[in-house]
Amino acid sequence: MSDAPALLPVEEARARLLGLCAPLPTEWVPGDDALGRALAEDVHARRTLPPWDNSAMDGYAVRSQDVAGPLPVRLTVGETVFAGGHPTRELTPGTCARIMTGAPLPPGADAVVMRERTRSAPDAPDAVDILEAAGPGSFVRPRGEDAKEGDVLLRRGTPLGIPELALLWAQGQGAVPVPRRPRVAVLSTGDELCRVDEPPGDGIVDVNAPALALAVRRAGGVPTLLGIARDTREAVQEALSRAEGFDVVLTSAGVSVGDHDFVKDALEALGVKRHFWRVAIKPGKPLVVGQRGGALFVGLPGNPTSSLVTFELFVRPALRRLLGHADVEPPRVTGRLEGSLSKAPGLAHFVRVTATWRAGELWAKPLGTQTSGALRSAAAATHLLHFPRELSSVTDGSHVELVPLSWVA
């Protein structure tokens, strides 16, 4: 009889993990350093933008009532208004102003006629013939269309992408309030491991630590490599004791039931409260999550692809929560299966697939090998196909749930 706990469903395990996470303390950083984080507080508009009604086209600013009648209509051109300049005359009946994109509308104007819908008047150099009617507001960008001073511009928790940061810069806001980046320690365990710059001999190059560090950085965290701990309880415990001051501690290997799997024991000896161990998932079943103070400890499986998959499904959402994001669940899209899949019910499989668009639908083709140590299939994968735990087969052409992979370049 095994004393191992019952396997947690993937969704419950992720919910428990996320329940241990909260946005980290706020810091003010330059906008380009805030990319990928989320706002720590509401941001209000400091400026009304645009500050005046302006032209959306190169053309002629007109009074719409002057161009509502039979066409063409000849108008006298009073002045030319450029972007960055200001009009000096009010439009009166029968007059217009030549205007450039972005330039403020003259007083009295309420519409713009595109330059392509006009023609010059050879016999009247100060006039133009309008060939198309223009209603009020035509090709006009109204004052305050983008933002009005005092309005809530972006809400707390809004992910900061390039358009959001551009919106803040347009307000003259160069610094942004965001949760600080999570500090993440990454530790590999195993007697068989060596660094990539060491002669391997009979060993195996440790790819987990550098790969996980890259995944942490791509998810917005700041990784620190703690090296490789050998397969003794003392070595693992000593290495983990050096993880003080980190928000998240990631280990790989040593979390299963083998004679040299000491991570769980070492965590317990260091006062880490274990919240769960073992998830109903393939790859990645021996996942362990614990906490001590404000630090989160996540023990990932040792096989390289298992560690990457469990990072994607569990650690990346946790880092996003620490970074202040409200929506942290892995993204999902619907596709169709090319081929068929079968398994015993009980574990949710996350199958590595290559997905391509055909006839308006995303078709997912499972890669040839799904073993946990095969990095070539991870390199070729574009998505993970969720094969639910309760199902034993999925037939060719079936609709399936796909998780896009963040590690895809």
Q: How many residues does the chain have?
A: 409
Long-range contacts from 105-109, C-beta under 8 angstroms, 24+ separation: 105/52, 105/53, 105/54, 105/55, 105/61, 105/140, 106/61, 106/78, 106/79, 106/81, 108/63, 109/61, 109/62, 109/63
Average pLDDT of every residue of the chain: 93
What is the arithmetic mean of pLDDT over 368-388? 89
**For tokens 């998240």, what's the residue?**
248
CA-wise closest residue to 296 among 216, 190, 182: 182
At 225, list the tokens.
């490599």
Exposure string for 380-398, b = 16+ CB within 10 A, e = fewer: ebbbbbbbebeeeebeeee
pLDDT band at 120 (very low <50, low <70, confident <90, very high): very high
Contact 335, 364 (CB under 8 A): yes
In the block, residue with structure tokens 């161990």: 277
pLDDT, tens digit (0-9, with 9 covering 90-100), for 336-362:
999 999 999 999 999 999 999 999 999
Of 67, 126, 124, the residue nearest 97 (C-alpha): 126
Q: Which range is least confidently modeled, 163-167, 188-192, 244-248?
A: 188-192
> Comparing 2 with 297, which gets the higher pLDDT?
297
- Contacts of residue 220, defined as CB under 8 A and 6 or more positions apart, other chains included, come to 36, 37, 181, 182, 319, 320, 323
Share of the chain above pLDDT 90, in %: 83
Asked if residues 113 and 64 have their Cβ atoms less than 8 Å apart, the reply is no
Quote the pLDDT of residue 3.
56
CB 260, CB 191: distance < 8 Å: yes
Q: What is the mean pLDDT of residues 387-400?
A: 97
Q: What is the pLDDT of residue 260?
A: 58
Distances, alpha carbon 317 to alpha carbons 312, 323, 363, in Å: 8, 10, 26
Q: Flag whether pLDDT at 2 surpasses 60.
A: no
Q: Which residues of 71-83 are buried (b: 16+ CB within 10 A; e: fewer)?
A: eebebebbbebee
180: nearest Cα among 16, 326, 36? 36
The whole-number average pLDDT for the span 281-297 is 94
pTM, rounded to two decimals: 0.87
Q: What does the pLDDT look like over 51-64, one tens digit per residue?
A: 999 999 999 999 99
Neighbours of 353 (CB within 10 A): 29
**Rounded to an integer, what distance in angstroms lies between the CA atom of residue 60 and that of residue 114?**
7
Residue 1, pLDDT above cutoff 50? no
Q: What six digits make up the tokens of 169?
A: 């810069």
Task: Give 247's DSSP letter.
Answer: S
| Average pLDDT of span 253-259 | 72
Which residue would you say has higher pLDDT here, 342 or 198? 342
Mean pLDDT, to the nearest integer, of 4-32?
94
Could you tell me the CA-to-CA distances from 288 to 13, 184, 207, 243, 315 in Å, in that order?
Answer: 10, 16, 20, 17, 12
Contact between 39 and 156 (Cβ < 8 Å): yes
**Residue 259 pLDDT class (50, 70, 90 cuts):** low
- 301 prior amide bond cis, ω within 30: no
DSSP-derived secondary structure letter, 115: G
The whole-number average pLDDT for the span 154-167 is 95
